[in-house]
Amino acid sequence: VEEEAEAPKEEKSGNDKLVVGFAQIGQESGWRDAETASIQFYAGQNVDTIDLKFADAQQKQENQIKAIKSFIEMGVDVIGLAPVVETGWDAVFTEAKDAGIPIVLVDRMAKVDESLYSTFIGSDFIEEGKNAAIEMATLLGDEGKIVELEGTVGASAANDRKKGFDDEIAANHPNIEILESQTGDFTRAKGKEVMESFLKTYGSDIKGVYAHNDDMMLGAIEAIKEAGLKPGVDIKTVSVDGVKGIFEAMAAGEANVTVECNPLLGEQFFDTCRKLKAGETVDKWIKSEEGIYRQETAADDLPNRKY
Ligand code: AHR
């Protein structure tokens, strides 16, 4: 008896591979470059089974929206997005949903109805901000004036890291005063520029600086040195990410603490995409596990850092 040949499975994209569109924010920080590398490396290693369509939005939401629309037109299996800002996604996510394409939020959240995305893979930014505040309080003996360098206006990473930090200071550290808080857009150049202006206004009254990412802190460290002060000593530093540059600064005694945020999400992202294509359900929040790193162990930690 002749066996019936199994009909080839009809893929949405007409492609046997897992076809994934990823709309990246841009290249604003070392952290983001590490995330991009992680996603592209994993796709490259699995080129027989994964077809990655990658778009760099150059920090613009409108470019991310355009990329998502073109992924919908291509009929990809899954769309991945690191949303530059939290709001303004409802219409394009609804288009994806109507086309039957799941959305996976990677590293940053979007403020939309839960039904419009499948899962969020990333960190608890509020917790990171809270941990940063506790570290700052310890460094300052629970007393002193500080400044804050915020990330991109409207980004979940900036909103939540600010909330977690400011709430913890307000609730439990009444003798720590936040003199001023301004955006440095998650970039080293802007972090330096804003720190220069804080130093002009408040001078040596500043005893600590909290930056929503390490790149801004690396810029701030340059500004502090140029002002004739010692970063890590005269002005204590706490930032978020855990990139190699901040470990080098900590090992050199020029930075104090980094609260880790993991950008190496490539494997988790594609595993999730595979599950979604297969119709499996996934957790609504796939949370990253992260540590806190301090100056004391930075020289030993540095050789083990992967980004
Ligand atoms: O969304 C994560 C944040 O975005 C990282 O902390 C930062 O470096 C990046 O630009």
Give the ipTM.
0.99
Which pLDDT does position 71 carry in this prediction?
A: 98
Residue ranges lining ligand 1, Cβ < 6 Å: 28-29, 31-32, 107-108, 157, 186, 213, 215, 240-241, 261
- Parallel, antiparallel, or unpaired: how do β-strands 257-260 and 119-122 relate? unpaired
Taking only the tens place, the pLDDT of each residue in 187-228 is 999 999 999 999 999 999 999 999 999 999 999 999 999 999
Ligand 1 centroid to Cα of residue 17, in Å, is: 30
Q: How confident is the model at residue 143 (pLDDT cuts 50, 70, 90)?
A: very high
Taking only the tens place, the pLDDT of each residue in 34-73 is 999 999 999 999 999 999 999 999 999 999 999 999 999 9
Ligand 1 centroid to Cα of residue 46, in Å, is: 26
Counting from 1 in the atom list of ligand 1, the atom nearest the Cα of 107 is 1
Mean per-residue pLDDT, 174-185: 98
Task: Give the residue, out of 39, 58, 107, with the most ligand 1 atoms within 8 A of its beta carbon, to mutate for a pocket test.
Answer: 107
Q: How confident is the model at residue 12 (pLDDT cuts 50, 70, 90)?
A: low
Counting from 1 in the atom list of ligand 1, the atom nearest the Cα of 25 is 10
Ligand 1 centroid to Cα of residue 181, in Å, is: 18
Task: Give the residue, out of 106, 213, 239, with the most ligand 1 atoms within 8 A of its beta carbon, to mutate for a pocket test.
Answer: 213
In whole angstroms, how far apart are CA 146 and each of 18, 143, 167, 208?
Answer: 48, 10, 15, 5
Alpha-carbon distance of 209 to 178, in angstroms, equals 9
Ligand 1 centroid to Cα of residue 241, in Å, is: 7
Which pLDDT does position 13 carry in this prediction?
A: 54
Ligand 1 centroid to Cα of residue 4, in Å, is: 53
Ligand 1 centroid to Cα of residue 98, in Å, is: 30
Task: Give the residue, out of 24, 27, 29, with the most ligand 1 atoms within 8 A of its beta carbon, to mutate for a pocket test.
Answer: 29
Ligand 1 centroid to Cα of residue 269, in Å, is: 17
Question: Which residue's alpha carbon is nearest to atom 3 within ligand 1?
Answer: 157
Taking only the tens place, the pLDDT of each residue in 130-141 is 999 999 999 999
Average pLDDT, the chain: 95
Q: Which of 258, 213, 220 is nearest to 238 (CA)?
A: 258
